[in-house]
Amino acid sequence: MNISEFERTKPRETHEAFMNVKEKYETLLKETVIMDEVDAARVEITSQFLKDLKKIYKKFLTGL
């Protein structure tokens, strides 16, 4: 399957869900002010989650 064929037929709701979650956690990272260890842990976990989500998203785009 080539990229243009995938783009034409990809699951739109799944793509939208990926984008919404990505935006949600990027916003959380931007808005979190680290004032204590709990905030630092939240930022670290959120960063790792976004990294993992981006890996999954790349696989989604390739149709794997």
pLDDT in tens, 11-42: 788 888 999 999 999 999 999 888 999 989 99
> Chain centroid to CA 12: how far?
15
pTM: 0.70
DSSP code, position 34: -
For residues 45-60, give the mean pLDDT: 92
Q: What is the mean pLDDT of the chain?
A: 86
Handedness of CA 55, 23, 20, 45 (dihedral sign): positive
Query: How many whole angstroms separate alpha carbon 30 and alpha carbon 37?
Result: 17
Backbone φ, ψ for residue 35 (5° rounding) = -115, -20
